[in-house]
Structure 1
Amino acid sequence: MRRSRERGAVMVEFALIVPLLLLLVLGLIEYGYRYSRSSVLNNAAFVAARDYSIHKDAAAAQAAGRAADNRMPSGAAFAGFSCPPGGNVTVTITSTENSPTGLFPGGDTFVVNAKGVARCED
């Protein structure tokens, strides 16, 4: 008799803990994915800025930035292609990414704003 009560208590405890553990795991997956996408897009923005600082060709720099991130959505927007003499070029990329879980703020998508800075070559 006592064993069956203990088994029931364990089932109730398990049922209370599983949703919290599942939320924690999904939160880790979401955070890791968002952090990874932000990091990769920041690198792509730097690659585009560096390419523009050398060649002064916005289309080629954008292509170099896209090549640096093979998962970049086609709708990602590049901005900031200007290189003042002796200054820096700052390229920004704004991209709408798909969420791996869709359970957190923003729903199925989230926006990543990336920035890359490179010194202008003379």
Structure 2
Amino acid sequence: MAVEFALIAPLLLLLTFGIIGFGYAFHLQSVLDNAARDAVRVFALQQEGDARATARQVATESAQTSVDADLLQIAIPADCAEGDLTTVTVALPDFQLIGGLWTVDLIGSGTMRCSG
């Protein structure tokens, strides 16, 4: 009985930690998508002030509960002409799964028509 458990236990542990790691990566992907969606909304609708800086701040604040803000890469277009589609991308490069066995790039994006 102990021999069988000793053979199966590493596989069960790997499977368990793999499920936990995948679930956490899925959570972070959702956080990045929401941060990008919040940022593009502000960028596309803000008429006065520095819309890019405000959108960057909104994306950072939206994601900071789950991700260190220094690790985020936020891409915001230079301008937003009325009627055009604009996309904001929030990325977390080289996210490590299962203690660093695998790394993936998590990228969230949001698209919205400028000026509503």
Q: Same fold (TM over 0.5)?
A: yes
CA drift of 1:72 comes to: 3.0
Taking the aligned partners of 2:28 and 2:12, their CA distance within structure 1 comes to 24
Q: How does 1:1-122 map to 2 (within 5 A)?
A: 10-55=1-46, 57-70=51-64, 71-73=66-68, 74-81=70-77, 82-96=79-93, 99=96, 101-106=98-103, 110-121=104-115
Following TM superposition, the consecutive aligned residue runs of length 4 or more in structure 1 with deviations greater than 4 angstroms are none
The residue matched to 1:72 in structure 2 has which SS?
coil
Q: Structure 2: give runs of 5+ residues left out of the alignment.
A: none
Q: Is the 8 A contact 2:39 2:55 kept in 1?
A: yes
SS of structure 2 residue aligned to 1:114: strand
Backbone CA RMSD of aligned residues: 1.9
Aligned residues: 110
Q: Which moved more, 1:31-40 or 1:69-78?
A: 69-78
Which structure is higher in RCO with an 8 Å CA cutoff and minimum separation 6?
Answer: 2
Give the TM-score taking structure 2 as reference length: 0.83
Whole-Å separation in 1 of the counterparts to 2:81 and 2:21: 39
Matched residue type, 1:101: I
| TM-score in terms of structure 1 length | 0.79
- Residue 98 (structure 1) shift: 5.0
